[in-house]
Structure formats: C-alpha cells, structure tokens
Amino acid sequence: MDEKNDVCINKQLNSKSYWIDSTNETNYKALEKDIKVDIAIIGGGITGITTALLLKNEGFKVALIEADKIAKGATGHTTAYITSQHDIIYSNLIKSVGIEKAKQYADANEGAIDFIEDMVKKYNIDCDFCRLPAYIYTTDENYIDTIKEEVEAAKSLGIKAKYIEKLDLPFSIKGALCFENQAQFHPRKYLLEIAKNISSNDCNIYENTRAVDIEHDDLYTVITDTGFKVIAPTVVLASHYPFYDGLGLYFARLRPQRSYVITAKIKDELPKGTFVDAGEEGWYFRSQKYKDGQMIIIGGQDHKTAHGGDMMKHYVNLEKYAEKNFSIEKFLYRWSTQDYITIDGVPYVGKLTSSSENIYVATGYGEWGMTNGTAAANILRDIIVKKVSPYQDVYNPSRNISTDGIKNFAKENFDVAKQLIKGKLQVGQYNIELKNDEGKMVEIDGERYGAYRDKNGELHIVDITCTHIGCELKWNSAEKSWDCPCHGSRFTFEGDIIEGPAVNRLNHYKESDNAE
C-alpha cells in the first residue's frame, strides 16, 4: 500500500478521541458574575477535577473554571494507562536524585492506582477499570541490559517487578519488564462521574471560562475572558500548562511534545496488559472495550510540537506499524495529544515558586498524566490542608536540578531562541493559491500571515505571530491548526486557542467578512 493511499485511509477515520466520542457532552454554565470562594482551581482535567473533589470533601468552598469543556483536553486525548511504570525512569531517578526521592515518586504513583480504584468503588463508576500487568518490551538485544537494570531499580523501591523473556504477542521479543497489578480505564467515564459530586454546597464547575490573568493583593483575583472574576485566598493552577507564570520561568522549563494515536478492531485477541516498546520508536498499545467487542489502541511518533514536518505522516506510520504487527480488521479512530516534559522528567507539583504563598501548580506529567495527575491532586490536597505531603520533595517545582537536567534546560532554550529568530526571518509563499483543505504561510504586503482554505473553499487568514512571546506559528496539516514551535501554544485556523500558555487568540479574517 503506497503512502498516498495510506493518507487517504487516515482521512477517512473518525478524527475524534474515542473517549470523547463515547461519552455525553457536559453542560456546566460559564461564569456569569464575580464570585468569592476559598479555593479557585483553574483547569478541568484529571488533576483539577480530582483536586476540586478532595478539597470540597475537606470542607472548602471551591470553584473550578475550565476554558473549554471539562475532561476534553489532554485528559480526553490520553491512552489512559494507569501505571507507575513510566518508561525507563527508576534507574535514572536513583542515579540523579537518590533512592529516597525515587521511592517517593514510585509510592506516589503506586498510590494513585489504588486511589483511582477506591474512587471507582466508592462512587460506583462504570468506567472499564481493570487491573492488569504493564510491560516494557524490546525487540532489540541492545536494550536488554537497560530493561534488567530497570527491573532491579523498581524492585529496590518496593514495586512488584520482574524480567520475562517471552510475551504472547503477534511478534517476537528479546525480553521485557513486567510491573504487576497496574490498571487501565475509560478516563472520561471516570471523571464525568467524579465531577457530578463537586457541584453542591457552594462548590461549582464553570465551563467556557478562560482564566487570562491573576492579580494579587490580600487575596488572589482570577481574571477571566467572560469579564467576571474569581476571588480566593488560594489558587491551584491545574491547566496542563500554567498560563500564569509568576516568575517561575515555566516556559523555559517545559518542553511541549505531540504524540499520535490510532485505534482498530483486530482479529486476534491481545494478551491482558499494557505495552510499551523500549526502542527509539517508542510504540505503545493496549486493548480497550469497544461496543460488544474489543479494539486496540496504538500510539507513538512523538516529536516536539511544530517540529514534526507533515503531521499526517505520523498517522501513516502508525497505520503501517499496525498492519505489519497485528491482524487489522478495521481502523476506527485517530487523534493526537500534547504532553509537557520537564527538564529532569519529574512533574512540577507544589508552590508556584519558592517564595509564593497559597498559589500552587501541577504540570509536566510527560505521557503519564493519569497517575501523575492523580498523585498531584493528593499532594496538593495534603499541602493545602496539612501543609506537608510525603511526596513533596521529589515533585517540588523549585527543586535543584541534576546536571543532565541543566543540559536539557540549555538545549530547550537554545531551540526556542533559534525558532524565534528563524520565524522572523522566514519568507512566506508570496501567494494565496490554495486548494480546499490546504494551509500554508503567505506574504501579504511584506508581512507574514497564515492562510487556510477550508473544505467549502472559504479562505481564512490569521496573524501567525504567537500571542505568548512572539514565535512564528507553523501549520499542522493533520489537526488543521497553527502550532507554536517554542512553547506549544496551538490555535485553530480561525485563531481560537486550543491549548498552551497563550491567553489571547489570533487576529482572524475570512473572505465572507467582505460580503455585503
């Protein structure tokens, strides 16, 4: 099958997250007046929703505000692994931060699995939760020693881990690491039920309410795009990427990364478990209940945001991998997601800065948001209520960074500077000759703009200077979006914010605006 046909097949897939497509739309009202609460929580993903419920149960009056709809951002585009197995991490953590902090990380994520299971039982949530093993496998002998070292590191931290030589997969492996008693679920079925328990006793969720700034006097005032404010003595930033930096330099300490997912019905049944390839390609897959049967979820093709070339090729590569390794019956869904990677691989959870009081952040989960996001909610609850958490040191946003982390810091910020300069010097296409469903950079009167002709033939033009710090945006052909190569802000072809640190939309013009 040639690439042209592959691309055609990809375009025929349902380009919507299965988790979103298989659940009902939420309908919480937008903020319609100034309110005063005990705690303002910004962000309606797994961290924000879980934190809101935990703090409500502690007796606080809580307001959760979400720019779009709850559980539709990163949480709605996950592959929903619930595991403490976060690729090859524990052997590296022991070397970089020591065994005590590495154990904190392990315990926090193992505890998150138990917490989710307890919540499923407590609230009787039908969300396809099940316990199963998690595997990191390799088809390359060069990774065997690395996997064996990770097994020993995990065991030293109290994780039930073992090395195995074979798996009942449709392809052969050289060896694998197994973490026992891990889990998976349907994230939106879980979170939408959790959210139903927040809105009562003066606690509320507000959707379609974007926080755009925070002012601080005696109390914090969260400014929103609805024109109304949330006033609170305590604020939690759980918006995936902290829109408010507070001199914490998070924009310089987080790397935005995109990855891609396809799902399919397959003829053969997969063994029970979640699977991650230890190799450079980084494929991962698991099965998921689908209607009256099962489907396989396959992910991979990671790259820094706006650095992946023609984005559609990543779906092409996923299809080719799927067809090579599994008996594909029918492809079903495709979607992509954005993760933020910290410079040392451990999330930032705690005080926004070392000197800030009563404003907290949770970000940088990498590809492991289900357990890290749940752990973050518990850490924040403990710090706010008890002033201490047993896991706060390893997650501390103001922690000392290892030598390798400092190297990553320098590398990422060199790339940001390069993209900023490169974008300003880049010349557009000098014309607006576009086919339907095509986008590119163009030049109009000596200025650069982004142009996209939609499927109906209407032309959309936006100012492609990112409203965050001014990097030039790049066209994402797969998602029909303008993406920032510096800090990962993303915008629709009409200029609306999809995600990232930006809080202001792009200027937008379309041909029909000239219609009389």
Give the residue ranges of DSSP H helices in 387-510. Answer: 392-395, 403-425
- Answer for the pair 284, 276: CB distance below 8 angstroms, yes or no: yes
- Answer for the pair 126, 386: CB distance below 8 angstroms, yes or no: no
| DSSP character at residue 25 | P
Name residue 334's beta-bridge partners: 262
Per-residue confidence band for 219, with pLDDT thresholds at 50, 70 and 90: very high
- The Cα–Cα gap between 418 and 126 comes to 48
Percent of the chain with pLDDT over 70: 90
- The Cα–Cα gap between 510 and 295 comes to 40
3-state secondary structure 402-430: CHHHHHHHHHHHHHHHHHHHHHHHCCCCC
Torsion of CA 465, 471, 475, 480, to 10 degrees: -70
Name residue 482's beta-bridge partners: 475, 491
Does 136 have pLDDT greater than 70?
yes
Tens-digit pLDDT profile for residues 386-409:
999 999 999 999 997 655 654 554
Torsion of CA 377, 380, 386, 388, to 10 degrees: 120
User: Residue 355, class by beta-carbon neighbours within 10 Å (0-12 exposed, 13-18 middle, 19+ buried)?
Assistant: exposed
The encoded tokens of residue 72 equal 């539709």
Averaged pLDDT, 294-304? 93
- pTM confidence score: 0.86
| DSSP character at residue 173 | -
Rg of the chain in Å (alpha carbons) = 23
Tens-digit pLDDT profile for residues 42-62:
999 999 999 999 999 999 999
Per-residue confidence band for 351, with pLDDT thresholds at 50, 70 and 90: very high
The encoded tokens of residue 167 equal 């798996």
Name residue 131's beta-bridge partners: 183
The closest of 119, 133, 105, 130 to 46, measured between CA atoms, is 119
- The Cα–Cα gap between 229 and 220 comes to 10
Least confident of 277-281, 428-432, 456-460: 428-432
- Answer for the pair 512, 458: CB distance below 8 angstroms, yes or no: yes
Does 241 have pLDDT greater than 50?
yes
Per-residue confidence band for 102, with pLDDT thresholds at 50, 70 and 90: very high
Does 75 have pLDDT greater than 80?
yes
pLDDT at 264: 96
Cβ neighbour number for residue 145 with a 10 Å cutoff: 10
